[in-house]
Structure 1
Amino acid sequence: MTDALLTHDRTATSHPAAGHRHAHGGRPLSAAGRRTYTAHINPDRRIVAAEPDFSRQFGRTSADTCGRSLYELLHPSSPSYLDRHFARLSEGRCNRFDERMVGLGGSGRVFSAGLTGIAVHDTTGGLAGIVVQVRPDQEAVCAAAEEPAAHPRERLLSKLDAQVLEGVASGASTVQLAARLYLSRQGVEYHVGLMLRKLKAPNRAALVARAHSLGMLTVGQWPPRVAPEFIK
């Protein structure tokens, strides 16, 4: 099965539609210039093969990565929204999906990234496995690495700020948040902008990663909730 997965991965990443180019060291890059790390999982979400760089991104070795559930490398909220995508691949309702994720790196670091899942079929048309490609947001990683964790009292949010952050973390759009919180779109963007400056994050994905790294968002809960000690 691994040979079939590797063959499919070479095809998928070299196809023009995949939007990849190669860096000087041969590492595939996304159209936005982000590095792509690849692993192969079976239909039960267990990793059967992984590039060394994929494992290092999660603070592990290849030997420690293989055999583990993919979800062990991701934030505990991941199964609640990724399971439906993997189910669609398993049932043959789609051949590919793209989603956002928060990964667990070494030393308690978290990072935001894009996650792509690509179905690999055997000769009978059944699902042989899944190629997963992770594209970390480098600016989110750098922000998390450069800024020390702050004491909760330094990061107090208003109740409305917390609701906006929870919505952003759950993937809600500006329009959806405006309707949910009875704000204008400009009002939502104002509160998002305040939190971007507070947490020194360059974009929404980085904001969520920073909030996770600071312990602002409760672990293992979906939809995400801001921990009470961070709310005024």
Structure 2
Amino acid sequence: MVFDRVSVPVAVCDVYGAVQVANPAMAAECGTTPGRLRGRDVLELFRPQEATQVERIAEALRLRHRSRYQVSVRWQAPDGAQRYGELTADPVSDTVEDTPALLVMLRVLAEREAHEQRPPQVAPIEARILALLASGTTTAQAARETDLTVDGVNYHLRRLSSRWNAANRTELVARAYTLGVLAPGVWPPTPASWEGSE
């Protein structure tokens, strides 16, 4: 009963991601009722921004690692708006030997309209560094490409990590895509159109 009163969208899924129970806030994000979410695949409801995030989580769960996992996702809200956010999955079970269920929480970050504007506090050089990072360049290569020193690149990455509360560079890149700083579906990665003059 307490589960239903939680305002944060929450669901309990089996280890494969099938929803076992969801609260009304989670169902509202999908435009349905909690009972209709039962058995649905959470990653079909909320599409991952990066398939590699899901593959790493699946492998970790197979190895019985019990960490918190985050996946950047997007989905269509009931009003038709494209929304962006993060799913956080925590493995939970009564004993270490039991196959865990996943406690899944959704954090809504923004809708598409917000992504069409310039994200606050992202300088063109920071967007360029993020694009280089997303393409797999090293810090030294990014420094050469941007005419900065290695320390200069690291300075910008530390500032962005602090601003976005990103634990590592992979999460930093994921957030850059989620926030609309990097253009989706483009290779090599490039800053979104508002950064085109860089």
TM-score of the aligned structures, taking structure 1 as reference length: 0.52
Gaps of 5+ in 1: 1-5, 14-24, 28-34, 151-156, 196-201
Tell me if 1:164 matches 2:135: no
In the alignment, the residues of structure 1 paired with residue 158 and residue 180 of structure 2 have an alpha-carbon distance, to the nearest angstrom, of: 13
Q: Which amino acid aligns with 1:102?
A: V
Query: 1:71 aligned to 2:43?
Result: yes
1:130 matches 2:102: yes
> CA, structure 1 residues 65+180, in 2 after alignment: closer, same or farther (shift >3 Å)?
farther
Give the alignment partner of residue 178 of structure 2, picking from 209, 212, 216: 209
1:97 alignment partner in structure 2: 68
Over 3 Å counting, the alpha-carbon distance change for 1:180 and 1:117 in structure 2 is: farther
Q: CA deviation at 1:130?
A: 1.9
**1:93-150 CA distance string (max 9 Å, x none):** x22323252332412423233513223257x93315222223x25xx42xx4664736
Aligned-residue Cα RMSD (Å) equals 4.7
Report the Cα distance in structure 1 between the residues aligned to 2:62 and 2:115, rounded to whole angstroms.
Answer: 41
Residues 17-69 of structure 1: CA deviation (Å, up to 9, x unaligned): xxxxxxxx953xxxxxxx64321112222222111101323555434533222
Asked if 1:179 is matched to 2:140, the reply is: yes
Taking a change above 3 Å as real, the CA distance of residues 48 and 114 of structure 1, as seen in their structure-2 partners, is closer
Counterpart-to-counterpart distance in 2, 1:166 and 1:112: 23
**How big is each residue's C-alpha offset from its partner over 1:164-190, in whole Å with a ceiling of 9 and x where there is no partner?**
2463x69x9xxx863341253434655
Q: How does 1:139-154 map to 2 (within 5 A)?
A: 140-141=109-110, 144=111, 147=114, 149=116
Aligned residues of 1:120 and 1:131 also touching (Cα < 8 A): no
**TM-score between both structures, scaled by the size of structure 2:** 0.59
Return the match for 1:57 from 29, 32, 36: 29
**5+ long unaligned stretches in structure 2:** 118-122, 144-148, 165-171
Indicate the residue corresponding to 1:31 in structure 2. none
Post-superposition CA distance 1:186-225 (Å, at most 9, x none):
34655998x9xxxxxx74676532318xx92118x9xx83
Hey, what's the Cα distance between the residues in 2 that align with 1:110 and 1:55? 15
Equivalent position SS for 2:52: helix
**Number of residue pairs matched?**
175
Contact 1:110-1:209 at 8 Å conserved across structures: no
Percent pairwise identity: 12
Measure, in 2, the Cα distance between the counterparts of 1:58 and 1:179: 44
